[in-house]
Amino acid sequence: MAGKSSSKKTVAAKAKKVVKATKPAARSKTVDSGIKPAAPKAYAAVAVKDSRNGKNFELPILKGTVGPDVVDIRKLYGEQGLFTYDPGYGSTGSTQSSITYIDGDVGVLTHRGYKIEDLAENSDFMEVCYLLLEGELPNAKQKVEFEKNITYHTMLHEQIARFYQGFRRDAHPMAVMVSVVGALSAFYHDSTDIHDPRQRTIASHRLIAKVPTIAAMAYKYSIGQPFVYPKNELSYAENFLRMTFAVPAEEYKIDPVVAKAMDKIFILHADHEQNASTSTVRMAGSSGANPFACIAAGIACLWGPAHGGANEAVLKMLAEIGSTANIKDYIGKVKSKQDNTRLMGFGHRVYKNYDPRASVMRKSCHEVLDALGKRNDPLLQLAMELEKIALNDDYFISHKLYPNVDFYSGIILQAIGFPTSMFTVLFAVARTVGWVAQWKEMIEDPTQRIGRPRQLYTGYGERPYTPMNKRK
Ligand code: ACO
């Protein structure tokens, strides 16, 4: 018990330190709006002894604003002939970044130094987009200007509407998203020169503005309804809801609670540091590929159930469990790893504590279900019971498995009326700004090189070619 409370204290002290220590490194402006942080300098070193030859060498240690120090191995191969081995990149920093910070041990997430809980409570999605892209919260004039720039680009080239006709009606909307976002590069040639800051900005605005239109059209196409064009007097979230749910035959009334929840979902998914899809965007962009192609690559990566596909998987899991009476059996299946069953919406590579986004989402989930009169929704009851049981179970406690953001987002989205196949699409709509901000940061970093990992080769050594008649 004593150990538990002292470790709790350590965690609390760490959290305090993290929140306080938010002063960024000295910065200078690049030609674009991007922020160019000062290159971190080595301030210490790790001494390494190579037991193969007794050789001693040192590896510099670099310090960021907050977070663990990093060992700089950039010269390791050149000087020592060694690669490092880190499948899944659990200990590898792939870049220097000043956009988002996560401390998974204590459940902290900040964008440009602002806590996600504060942004979700006090801000709106457009403001968060500006913050991620430009580094600061906008003043009133900057906000108006930014919103104008985004809404200016909400429409799609009319030819793109015809592109949809080539898909089967039962195509997964994520398949449509990957294709149509990639296809934007075939339509907007005037914003594909990545070396021109103005074109980079226009491409960024176009992507943020057009993804909701593309997503809503994917939905409309799948259900055989006509496309609804954007209405720029509405907010980003309102416009998306209208394009998704309105039909020409009726007036569409926007429920303010639903619009607020939608905006919050967008804020909570806007960026998440160097996750799989963001690293994919950076990797694709490192070759000089155009931004539309890079974001399409990010969408493809997000699709997987271990990443953005998890909210869809949560709903499928809840449907499979069916009722609270079956939870015990399901948890047993998870714990015995039967058929590799996992509790979807639980666990995270980085958070080994409650995902701060999940706390906000949990509250929002209750607000939306109350407003829609779905408080007794059996799915919510099942999810709450599952959460309670899992949080008190030794397996989940010892594995540090807490609910992640996707555990609740699926329930809200279903209550709003989205089919499960659209859940990951909504994640992609929200994350586009994060991908774009990280892509821009990479392109504007003068030390940027093509991403090219190494490997530990375990295949055959060289061998003579085997002619066909000698093969088994
Ligand atoms: N249910 C049951 N056990 C789990 C779960 C889970 N959801 N997640 C991890 N574990 C267990 C693993 O079986 C493993 O156990 P072991 O050490 O006894 O073998 C241990 O925890 C570590 O698991 P890893 O797969 O190594 O953890 P990793 O950090 O690679 O995985 C991930 C993170 C992929 C998110 C994982 O927790 C998972 O699959 N969760 C369910 C899917 C999900 O909700 N994804 C959404 C992530 S959030 C997002 O993308 C927005």
316 and 285 within one domain:
yes
Question: Is residue 449, in this structure, part of any structural domain at all?
Answer: no
Say how many Å lie between the CA of residue 261 and the centre of ligand 1: 27
pLDDT of amino acid 37: 60
Closest Cα to atom 40 of ligand 1 = 347
- The contacts of residue 325 (CB under 8 Å, 6+ apart) are none
Compute the Cα dihedral for 95, 452, 436, 413 and give only its sign: negative
Domain residues for the domain of 69 are: 8-103
- CATH number of the domain at 17, please: 2.20.28.60
366 is annotated as an active-site residue? no
Q: What are the backbone angles phi and psi of residue 40, rounded to the nearest 5°? A: -65, 140
**CB of 428 closer than 6 A to ligand 1?**
no
87 in the same domain as 21: yes
In a domain, 453, yes or no: no
Does the beta carbon of 348 sit less than 6 angstroms from any atom of ligand 1?
Answer: yes
* 176 and 86 within one domain: no
Are residue 278 and residue 390 in the same domain, yes or no? yes
With a 6 Å cutoff on the Cβ, whether 344 touches ligand 1 is: yes
Q: Give me the pLDDT at residue 24, please.
A: 46
With a 6 Å cutoff on the Cβ, whether 236 touches ligand 1 is no
> Chain-centre distance of CA 347, in angstroms?
15
216 and 156 fall within a common domain:
yes
Closest-CA residue, ligand 1 atom 39, reads 306
Q: Is residue 460 part of a domain?
A: no
Q: Are residues 125 and 245 in the same domain?
A: yes
Instruction: Name the residue at shortest CA distance from atom 50 of ligand 1.
Output: 307
Q: What is the pLDDT of residue 410?
A: 86
Please check whether residues 296 and 402 belong to one and the same domain: yes
* Residue 133, in any domain of the structure: yes
Tell me the best of 272, 311, 334, 342 to mutate to test the pocket of ligand 1, counting ligand atoms within 8 Å of each CB and taking the most. 342
In the prediction, which pLDDT does 377 show? 81
Q: Residues 103, 124, 271, 406: which is the catalytic one? A: 406
Whether 438 lines ligand 1, by a CB cut-off of 6 Å, is: no
Closest CA to 266 of 440, 437, 99, 433: 433
Q: Is 400 helix (H, G, I), strand (E, B) or coil?
A: coil
Q: Which of residues 51, 81, 103 is at a domain's end? A: 103
Mean pLDDT per 10-residue segment, the chain (472 residues): 40 42 39 58 95 96 95 96 96 96 93 97 98 98 97 94 94 96 94 94 97 97 96 96 96 94 96 97 97 98 89 90 93 93 91 89 89 85 89 92 88 91 94 98 93 97 97 94
Q: Kindly give the distance from the C-alpha atom of residue 89 to the centroid of ligand 1, in angstroms, as a whole number.
A: 15
- Into how many domains does the chain fold? 2
Question: What pLDDT, on the 0 to 100 scale, is given for residue 36?
Answer: 56
Say yes or no: 46 and 168 in one domain: no
pTM of the model: 0.87
* 399 Cβ closer than 6 Å to some ligand 1 atom: yes
Q: Are residues 288 and 422 in the same domain?
A: yes
| Residue 463 maps to a domain | no
Q: Phi-psi category of 117—alpha, beta or left, where left has phi over 0 and alpha has psi -120 to 50?
A: alpha
333 lines ligand 1 (CB under 6 A): no
Ligand 1 centroid–CA 342 distance in Å is: 7
- Is residue 12 domain-shared with residue 44, that is, in the same domain? yes
Ligand 1 geometric centre to CA of 17 (Å): 28
334: Cβ below 6 Å to ligand 1? yes
Considering the domain architecture, whether residues 337 and 438 belong to the same structural domain is answered as yes
Q: Which atom of ligand 1 is nearest to the CA of 302?
A: 50
Residue with tokens 């956009």: 99
**For the range 117-122, what are the long-range contacts, defined as Cβ-Cβ under 8 Å and sequence gap of 24 or more?**
117/356, 117/359, 117/360, 119/267, 120/264, 120/267, 120/268, 120/357, 120/360, 121/360
- Give me the pLDDT at residue 22, please: 41
Given 32, 111, 348, 355, which residue is catalytic?
A: 348
Q: Is 467 part of a structural domain of the chain?
A: no
For residue 360, what is the domain's CATH number?
Answer: 1.10.580.10
Residue 456 domain-assigned? no
Q: Is residue 350 situated within a structural domain? A: yes
Q: Are residues 80 and 167 in the same domain?
A: no
CA of 423 to the centre of ligand 1 (A): 20
Does the active-site annotation cover 255? no
pLDDT at 352: 87
